[in-house]
């Protein structure tokens, strides 16, 4: 039996899926995912370009959860809209980003979504250090009163221009600064205050994107390269922070800092790289989501990954 099928399945291996269209309403996403062979899937719960989010009525939530079971989808994830920028010096954009991420976490919790991933933003207005602190401040604001079940993930970027979050160190800096702006000031904090800061940091995970990370200089083309990359991840961030992997081949070279997704095996990472990735013991329980170009080849990408998993 294919490890991705069957109702009695236990989670001791990676599950494979893709970003799926939710056109016509989120209730359609599980069916669309099943149609191309997904075991898990990712979707937008609102327009990625902007605008008011569609209402999640009790009937909508009930139908969505029913469809998850009907179409045998084990987990699902939300991708935040593209306009999010927690590093912006423009208060409208900054506070708007906080508001949308708060809302998406609550929507995810209603729907039973496991993770919400987002891109931190651009440092062009503030400079690198200040931008990292601003992002951490925004995350603190989002999480300080949040009690839901959907977890917030920082997605690695390709580092184009002054986009932040393209290195393990940058993501680690952001996470370590979460809660630092809470009252009282750090010097006057009690053990209880520091415990609150750690509890906020524990609510944050990381989504590793193979194309973005490759463009940022993290090689995964061989078993040795995969081992080194995720050993480094473990040393800097801790492997427990890694919650999800976006699997995309790259149209651009290693360290190009250009975000261009390609179908599995057709880019600069190559089939051998994805074979090595799926064989890495540290990643055996991390699920994979394709964001390769839409079309018939995405379904082929899912089949290719399932073959590699075997």
In a domain, 242, yes or no: yes
In a domain, 6, yes or no: no
User: Whole-angstrom Cα distance, residue 48 to residue 201?
Assistant: 26
In a domain, 73, yes or no: yes
pLDDT at 148: 96
In a domain, 9, yes or no: no
Q: How confident is the model at residue 63 (pLDDT cuts 50, 70, 90)?
A: very high
In a domain, 118, yes or no: yes
| pLDDT per position as a tens digit, 86-129 | 999 999 999 999 999 999 999 999 999 999 999 998 888 788 88
DSSP-derived 3-state class of residue 239: helix
Give Cβ neighbours of residue 87 (< 8 Å, ≥ 6 apart).
120, 121, 122, 123, 125, 126, 131, 132, 134, 135, 164
DSSP-derived 3-state class of residue 260: coil
DSSP-derived 3-state class of residue 135: helix
In a domain, 2, yes or no: no
Q: Is the pLDDT of residue 258 over 70?
A: yes
Q: How confident is the model at residue 178 (pLDDT cuts 50, 70, 90)?
A: very high
pLDDT at 1: 37
Q: Of the ranges 4-13, 149-158, 240-249, which one carries the lowest mean pLDDT score?
A: 4-13
Q: Is the pLDDT of residue 183 over 50?
A: yes
Q: Which domain holds residue 182?
A: 16-309
Give Cβ neighbours of residue 95 (< 8 Å, ≥ 6 apart).
none
Q: Is the pLDDT of residue 5 over 80?
A: no
pLDDT at 9: 41
| pLDDT per position as a tens digit, 203-222 | 999 999 999 999 999 999 99
In a domain, 233, yes or no: yes
> Where does residue 51 rank: exposed (0-12), middle (13-18), buried (19+ CB within 10 A)?
exposed
What is the count of structural domains for the chain? 1
Cβ contact 289:19 at 8 Å = yes
In a domain, 252, yes or no: yes
Pairing of strands 115-118, 75-79: parallel
* 125 DSSP β-pair partners: none
Give the domain CATH number at 229: 3.20.20.150
Structure tokens at 307: 């073959």
Task: Report the chain's mean pLDDT, rounded to a whole number.
Answer: 91
Share of the chain above pLDDT 70, in %: 92
């Amino acid at each position: 039996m294919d490890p991705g099928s069957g109702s009695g399945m236990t989670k001791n291996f990676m599950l494979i899926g893709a970003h799926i269209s939710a056109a016509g309403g989120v209730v359609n996403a599980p069916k669309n995912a099943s149609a191309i062979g997904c075991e898990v899937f990712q979707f937008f719960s609102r327009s990625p370009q902007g605008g008011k989010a569609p209402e999640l009525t009790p009937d909508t939530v009930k139908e969505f959860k029913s469809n998850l079971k009907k179409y045998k989808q084990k987990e699902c994830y939300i991708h935040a809209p593209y306009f999010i920028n927690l590093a912006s010096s423009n208060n409208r954009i900054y506070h708007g980003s906080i508001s949308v991420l708060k809302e998406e976490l609550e929507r995810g919790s209603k729907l039973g979504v496991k993770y919400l991933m987002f891109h931190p933003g651009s440092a062009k207005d503030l400079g690198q250090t200040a931008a990292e602190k601003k992002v951490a401040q925004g995350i603190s604001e989002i999480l300080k009163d949040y009690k839901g079940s959907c977890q917030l993930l920082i997605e690695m970027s390709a580092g184009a221009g002054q986009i932040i979050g393209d290195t393990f160190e940058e993501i680690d800096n952001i996470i370590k600064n979460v809660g630092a702006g809470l009252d009282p000031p750090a010097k006057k904090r009690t053990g209880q205050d520091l415990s609150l800061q750690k509890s906020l940091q524990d609510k944050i995970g990381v989504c590793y994107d193979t194309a973005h990370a490759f463009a940022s200089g993290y090689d995964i083309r061989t078993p040795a390269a995969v081992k080194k990359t995720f050993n480094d991840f473990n040393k800097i961030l801790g492997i427990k922070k890694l919650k999800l992997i976006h699997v995309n081949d790259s149209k651009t070279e290693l360290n190009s800092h250009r975000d261009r997704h390609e179908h599995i095996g057709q880019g600069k990472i190559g089939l051998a790289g994805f074979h090595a990735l799926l064989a890495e013991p540290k990643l055996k329980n991390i699920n994979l989501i394709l964001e390769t170009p839409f079309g018939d080849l995405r379904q082929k990408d899912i089949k290719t990954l399932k073959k590699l998993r075997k």
